[in-house]
Structure 1
Amino acid sequence: MLPASQPSTVLTPSSLPDDAVEVGRILDAWGVKGWVKILPHSSDPEALFSAKSWFLQAPDAKYRVGFTAFSGTVSLSVDEAKIHSDSVVAKFGGLDDRNAAEALRGARIFLPRSSFPAASKDEYYWVDLIGLDVVNREGVALGCVRDLMATGPQSVLCVEYTASQEDGTTAPAERMIPFVSAYVDAVDLAGKRITVDWQPDY
């Protein structure tokens, strides 16, 4: 658990919302007043800034060693979240010292999708693109979006497809398509499809 100096109301046992999306991870304490440093999973962390409370779960296996702050799902109120340098930092209500912040290192951050701010025209949240089918202008299926990758000022679609091998078998493969207007013609969220100006042999 958190140090005894912290109020018991800091971590509130909770249930994960049905539409919960993992949006980041707590990297470490930041400063000495209970702030934490966040690694967002998206290049646009606007949802983190607008939410008044976050849901946390224990780290995945890679970061779980020594983690004892809590088990299950908890929620915390967020006093402030902001961009600092190239990362995001946040202050939770009632979390006022570095030791308490360090205890949360590795925790996974979730938010309900319904709490995300509305995206601007021609802008999309990464979570809404994952799982969409990708086809080109000729109607050729190019695969399914499995992930997105930030590369400086733009994002790249990581599209998984099945490739034929020389021995006649098939194996999963991946193609990278820049998510920019020069290559992306249309995004149909309702139809779960992205149309692109791209060829299978690119």
Structure 2
Amino acid sequence: MKNQFLEAGQIVNTHGIRGEVKIVPWCDSPEFLCSFSTLYLDGVPIKVRAARVHKGNVLAQLEGVDDVNAAMRLKNKVLHINRADVQLPEGRHFLADLVGLTVIDDDTGETIGAITEVLTPPAHEVYVVRGETKEYLIPAVDAFLRGTNVDEGWVRVHLIDGMGQEI
């Protein structure tokens, strides 16, 4: 079952004396996080009065957070977004939805394992797939991905020699 609320970033500090918070975004980009008018803190909706990108992070003024002391109490809190507030383009998925999917070798039809983690280095995502005897690092690029169906719970991949390592 897909979670309604997805982790989107963490408040790591205050900014200035008027209650702004500095957020490290955990989503595609800081601009994506700035597009939300409501975020969720400990399951409670909180309105975003203003948000802007600053050095790869987000500086936000949240409703009810009017001074540095109020902002300081939010330090290290994780912010969430509501899945219903996002319309993903065709073929795009939330990373949280990929973890746990069954991975099938498209050439043989055999199940090789399940996605345990999605790495996000600068070039492209990499799926960490753990099977019974091997672990695979599969780049999330067209050369290796043959299909993804989050609703049915599978990813089909093309493997090459040396991609899997004994565990």
Q: Note whether the superposition's TM-score is higher than 0.5.
A: yes
Deviations 1:121-146 (A, max 9, x none): 33222122222111121212222122
Distance across 2 between alignment mates of 1:80 and 1:182: 41
**1:198 and 1:44, CA in 2 relative to 1: closer, same or farther beyond 3 A?**
farther
> Rg larger in 1 or in 2?
1
Distance across 1 between alignment mates of 2:59 and 2:21: 6
**1:149 and 1:45, CA in 2 relative to 1: closer, same or farther beyond 3 A?**
farther
**1:160 and 1:80, CA in 2 relative to 1: closer, same or farther beyond 3 A?**
farther
* 2:73 alignment partner, one of 88, 97, 103: 103
Corresponding residue for residue 49 of structure 1: 34
1:41 positional shift = 2.7
Q: TM-score, normalised by structure 2?
A: 0.81
Matched, 1:137 2:106: yes
Instruction: Name structure 2 gaps, 5 residues minimum.
Output: none
How many positions carry a matched residue from both structures?
160
Instruction: Name structure 1 gaps, 5 residues minimum.
Output: 1-17, 58-72, 164-172
Distance across 2 between alignment mates of 1:82 and 1:124: 25
Corresponding residue for residue 151 of structure 2: 190
Corresponding residue for residue 10 of structure 2: 25
Deviations 1:56-81 (A, max 9, x none): 12xxxxxxxxxxxxxxx433211123
Distance across 2 between alignment mates of 1:193 and 1:105: 37
1:46 positional shift = 6.2
1:96 positional shift = 2.6
2:34–2:53: 8 Å Cα contact kept in structure 1? no
Higher relative contact order (CA 8 A, sep 6+): 1
| 1:50 aligned partner, one-letter code | S
1:43–1:150: 8 Å Cα contact kept in structure 2? no
SS class of match (1:151) = coil
Distance across 2 between alignment mates of 1:161 and 1:89: 41
**1:140 and 1:89, CA in 2 relative to 1: closer, same or farther beyond 3 A?**
farther
**1:188 and 1:35, CA in 2 relative to 1: closer, same or farther beyond 3 A?**
same
Q: How does 1:1-202 map to 2 (within 5 A)?
A: 19-44=4-29, 48-57=33-42, 73-116=43-86, 118-138=87-107, 139-163=109-133, 174-199=135-160, 201-202=162-163
Distance across 2 between alignment mates of 1:115 and 1:90: 18
1:106 positional shift = 0.9
| 1:55 aligned partner, one-letter code | Y
Distance across 1 between alignment mates of 2:30 and 2:105: 30
User: Over aligned residue pairs, what C-alpha RMSD do you find?
Assistant: 2.3
Q: TM-score, normalised by structure 1?
A: 0.68
1:107 positional shift = 0.9
Distance across 2 between alignment mates of 1:46 and 1:85: 12
